[in-house]
Chain A
Amino acid sequence: MEPISTIEGEVAFLDRSDVDTDQIIPKQFLKRVERTGYGEFLFYDWMRDGEIELEPHPILVSGRNFGSGSSREHAVWALHQFGFQAVIAPSFSDIFYSNSTKNGFLPIVLPEEECRAIATAGAAKIDLESQTVSWDGGEASFDIDREIKRRLLGGLDDIALTLQSEDEIEAFEAGPGGTYGPVTTAL
């Protein structure tokens, strides 16, 4: 994935809470077997009906519990491929948050007041290294797990990093831990 350092530019505002992944990318677009080509179907039903309008600005701001529901990573792919590089909201679902960080797409948790202030300002700058968001008239700092931050800053490949611990995985499998659970190939 691409490294992230700063993200700067205009802000798109989706003023809704509980935006679920069924809305972000409806089911009919999950039948593809590729990782690309989802951007044009972002919020398909809402966009097609003219219920919402979103510009592909670098930053999206939305309401609490963003990305709830299905684990479909297609939701992150769609947001990212549409043009967003970061999403700021008061809270996220756990799986969506995790999926975002695996794709170099930055989820930022800030209190609702600050989300609204950023939306009103219309533009902002995110600095991942200093963990700050600044906008005309304000600045806020956000929390992010140190290891997630390191991987995002470096654009590091999770699997390659874990495979550096292959000896430890093998040692675990050779011990009692390797004996839990069924042998699926034996059924």
Chain B
Amino acid sequence: MPKTMFEKIWEAHEVKENLIYIDLHLVHEVTSPQAFEGLRMSGRKLRRPDKTVATADHNVPTDGTPTAALIKDALSRKQVETLEKNAADFGVPVYSLGSETQGIVHVIGPELGLTQPGMTIVCGDSHTSTHGAFGALAFGIGTSEVEHVMATQTLVQNKPKTMRINYSGTLGEGVTSKDLILATIGKLGTSGMTGYVVEYAGEAIEALTMEQRMTICNMTIEGGGKAGMIAPDETTFEYMRGKPGVPADFDAAVERWRDLPTDEGATFDTEVEIDATAISPMVTWGTTPGMVIQVTDTVPDPEKMDSPADREAAERALQYMGLEAGTPMEEIRPERVFIGSCTNSRISDLREAAGAIKGRKVADSVRAMVVPGSALVKAQAEEEGLDRIFEEAGFEWRGAGCSMCLGMNPDILIEGERCASTSNRNFEGRQGKGGRTHLVSPTMATAAAIEGHFVDIRNWS
């Protein structure tokens, strides 16, 4: 019987009904301390340190602080030091602040070759869906489940439903994978994928690089999805070849991975069709990622919305965002620009952003910041001279971490500040209390930094 890629991976990992084996557990400092403590309290050991890896990302300052002991914020310092101690006590490899392979957990997994097709991958972080871009089943879990995986290397799971989104045609010039996923969430809503593992497929997806695919799978959670997946292909294998963690007999592994894609005739619980050629550069206007429109549109009018719940949510969002219905998006003026996060902080994101600068300067009204996703991305960018391009244009060039995506470190917005951000969440207060976030692609963020307002990247010379 024909099977979906998800079904193949699920069946290969069933220890017994509703108990699946986990091949890789990624750990970071915020959602793990209580889990490690739980192991200690119950006298349990961490079953498979060799299938576990830890890094410090959420809390770390990006100002060049070299080690955990020198983090100024006492609570952040304690959390990162606790991670280091827990990893040492339980035998888990850890890439903490100062390590040359430290970085955002969803950036380092792929770049170290730890993320591979056909695997089950979990992490106490909702953006674990990122790793699905390699044809893995990857999803976020809470701290109780983190402890469960540490103790048993398994998870109790009901089999989720499956959805396939088929994108016909290819993306237009200036339109990125960030726009594709934002447009998809705009169409399906913030809970449109709830309960589903989503496979992204079609010509537009096949044409993307691995890093572009990761951006799409990353934001599956913003559509409510449990996991996002993309079939592995030559693009996947070429990206992986030579990375440190990949199988020694790489070509044999590739042959196995070629069996993973969904079989012809396999059925999904839901299928969705989207015309990729109709997607434009997108900008969020509200306080959920589903509140998103084309950059050429105007701020929507709540009065024209059908459901009372939508109307009320939109009114609240506009008030919070300090926007008026009918304002052209291109007239909105961010004071801050953030290029970074597990969504868009990889080397190709930085190359695109730097490439769009073309000798121009950040507008006087804007403070702009670039935060590479990992220490390796930072080193690579510096080798290519991207740091100089950014700094000469007036961007701040920072150290690796989650940074202003969630503002757990000192990189935050102040009340009322408006930010064009390449991150994934525009929730109230996400980047700082009272901060106003507009989600965009790296090139759109760069253009906004230089012009001082949003622009349609397609007409921007």
Cβ contacts A78-102/B at 8 Å (1 or 0 each): 0000000000000111110011001
Tell whether, in the assembled complex, residue B309 and residue A26 are in contact, meaning their CB atoms are under 8 Å apart: no
Tell whether, in the assembled complex, residue B429 and residue A70 are in contact, meaning their CB atoms are under 8 Å apart: no
**Which residues of A are at the interface with B, using a C-beta cutoff of 8 A?**
16-18, 20, 22-23, 26-28, 30-35, 45, 63-65, 68-74, 76, 91-95, 98-99, 102-103, 112, 145, 147, 158-159, 161-163, 165-166, 168-169, 172-173, 177, 180-187
Report A-chain residues with C-beta under 8 Å of the C-beta of B58.
Answer: 30
**B190 contacts the other chain (CB 8 A):** yes
Chain B nearest CB: distance from A111 CB in Å? 13
Q: Residue of B at shortest CB range from A75? A: B142
Tell whether, in the assembled complex, residue A185 and residue B50 are in contact, meaning their CB atoms are under 8 Å apart: yes
Report A-chain residues with C-beta under 8 Å of the C-beta of B224.
Answer: 65, 68, 93-94
**B191 contacts the other chain (CB 8 A):** yes
Chain B nearest CB: distance from A131 CB in Å? 17
**B30 contacts the other chain (CB 8 A):** yes
Known pairs A35-B37, A187-B53. 17 more at Cβ < 8 A?
Answer: A18-B288, A27-B406, A68-B190, A71-B31, A71-B126, A73-B124, A73-B143, A94-B195, A94-B224, A99-B145, A112-B309, A158-B148, A159-B151, A162-B154, A168-B16, A177-B12, A182-B113
* Interface secondary structure of B, over-half rule: loop
Report B-chain residues with C-beta under 8 Å of the C-beta of A93.
Answer: 191, 194, 224
Chain B nearest CB: distance from A68 CB in Å? 6
Question: 12 A-B contacts, Cβ less than 8 Å apart?
Answer: A22-B406, A22-B430, A27-B408, A33-B82, A64-B191, A68-B288, A72-B30, A98-B145, A147-B18, A163-B151, A173-B21, A182-B24
Given contacts A33-B78, A99-B144, A162-B19, contact A183 B30 (CB under 8 A): no
Q: Residue of B at shortest CB range from A186? A: B50
Report A-chain residues with C-beta under 8 Å of the C-beta of B21.
Answer: 169, 172-173, 177
Number of interface residues of B (CB under 8 A): 81
**B8 contacts the other chain (CB 8 A):** no
Report B-chain residues with C-beta under 8 Å of the C-beta of A92.
Answer: 194
Report A-chain residues with C-beta under 8 Å of the C-beta of B160.
Answer: 94
Tell whether, in the assembled complex, residue A72 and residue B31 are in contact, meaning their CB atoms are under 8 Å apart: yes
Given contacts A69-B126, A73-B143, A169-B152, contact A184 B114 (CB under 8 A): yes
Tell whether, in the assembled complex, residue B309 and residue A63 are in contact, meaning their CB atoms are under 8 Å apart: yes
- State A27–B245 Cα separation when bound (angstroms): 32
- State A102–B429 Cα separation when bound (angstroms): 27
**B226 contacts the other chain (CB 8 A):** yes
Tell whether, in the assembled complex, residue B119 and residue A181 are in contact, meaning their CB atoms are under 8 Å apart: yes
Q: Residue of A at shortest CB range from B13? A: A177
**B102 contacts the other chain (CB 8 A):** no
Tell whether, in the assembled complex, residue A162 and residue B16 are in contact, meaning their CB atoms are under 8 Å apart: no
- State A31–B113 Cα separation when bound (angstroms): 30
Partner pick for A22 among B78, B114, B427, CB 8 A cutoff: B427
- State A102–B76 Cα separation when bound (angstroms): 27
**Which residues of B are at the interface with A, using a C-beta cutoff of 8 A?**
12-13, 15-16, 18-19, 21, 23-24, 30-31, 33-34, 37, 42, 44, 49-53, 58-59, 73, 75-76, 78-79, 82, 91-93, 112-114, 116, 118-120, 124-126, 140-145, 147-148, 151-154, 156, 158, 160, 190-191, 194-195, 221, 224, 226, 244-247, 288, 309, 313, 316, 406-408, 425, 427-430, 433
Tell whether, in the assembled complex, residue A158 and residue B144 are in contact, meaning their CB atoms are under 8 Å apart: yes
Tell whether, in the assembled complex, residue A91 and residue B191 are in contact, meaning their CB atoms are under 8 Å apart: yes
Partner pick for A18 among B15, B82, B144, B313, CB 8 A cutoff: B313
Report A-chain residues with C-beta under 8 Å of the C-beta of B407.
Answer: 27
Chain B nearest CB: distance from A165 CB in Å? 6
Report A-chain residues with C-beta under 8 Å of the C-beta of B34.
Answer: 33-35, 73
Report A-chain residues with C-beta under 8 Å of the C-beta of B153.
Answer: 169, 173
- State A35–B37 Cα separation when bound (angstroms): 9
- State A73–B33 Cα separation when bound (angstroms): 12
Candidate in A18, A74, A112 with the most chain B CB atoms within 10 angstroms: A18
Candidate in A27, A65, A112, A169 with the most chain B CB atoms within 10 angstroms: A27
Partner pick for B126 among A95, A165, A169, CB 8 A cutoff: A95
